[in-house]
Homo-oligomer: A and B are copies of this chain.
Amino acid sequence: MSEAGKVRMVDITGKEEVYREATAVGAIKLRRETIEKIRGGEVPKGDVVSVAKTAAILAVKRTWEIIPLCHPIPITSVQVDVELLDEEAKVTVNVKTTARTGVEMEALTGVSVALLTIWDMVKALEKDERGQYPQTEIRSIRVIEKVKKKE
C-alpha cells in the first residue's frame, strides 16, 4: 500500500551548506523578421529582452513553488543573457547560492520562463494567418555546467 502514489522529497537536512552554481541554456526559433524587430525595438509589446530577463529572475526565485519537489533555496545571484542570432534567440541563465542542494532546476526554470516570455512578447509576429505557429519552437534546454565547492 505504502508504495502506491509514492511522492518523496529528498531529505537534505544533513547536507552541508556549500557554494553551488548552475548554468543552463536554451533557444527559441523565431522568424528572421521577428528577430529584426526585437533588435530594432519595434515589437509592439515592448522591450522583449528586458521583460524576458525580469520574468526569468522572478521565476528562478520561485522555482520551489513551481516544481513540486524542489527545496526552497536562498538564491544569491541570477544572471540572464539573451543572445539574438539570425533565426533564434538563445537564453543563458546562471544561478548561484550557498545551500544544501544544487540549483540546476532553478537555472532550467529561468531559461524556460525567459523563452516562454519571448514567445509571448512576439506572438503577434509569429502567428500565421490562421492564428497558428508553424515555425515557432522552443528547443534544446540543457544544463551546461553545475558547480559545487567545499568552502
Which residues of A are in contact with B by a Cβ distance under 8 Å? 1-13, 15, 19, 26, 39, 41, 44-55, 57-59, 61-62, 64-84, 96-98, 100, 102, 104-105, 108-109, 112-113, 115-117, 119-121, 123, 131-133, 136-143, 145-146, 148
Q: Are B66 and A71 in contact (CB under 8 A)?
A: no
Task: Decide yes or no: A51 and B71 within 8 Å by CB, A13-B77, A138-B26 being known contacts.
Answer: no
Copies in the complex: 6
Q: Are B146 and A131 in contact (CB under 8 A)?
A: yes
Pick the most buried of A4, A12, A121: most chain B CB atoms within 10 A of its CB. A4
Q: Are A54 and B68 in contact (CB under 8 A)?
A: yes
Please, which residue of chain B has its CB at the minimum distance from the CB of A1? B84
**Which residues from B are CB-within-8-Å of A137?**
140-142
What are 6 A-B pairs with beta-carbon distances under 8 A? A6-B41, A7-B54, A11-B77, A67-B113, A69-B120, A112-B113
Smallest beta-carbon distance A45→chain B, Å = 5
Smallest beta-carbon distance A15→chain B, Å = 8
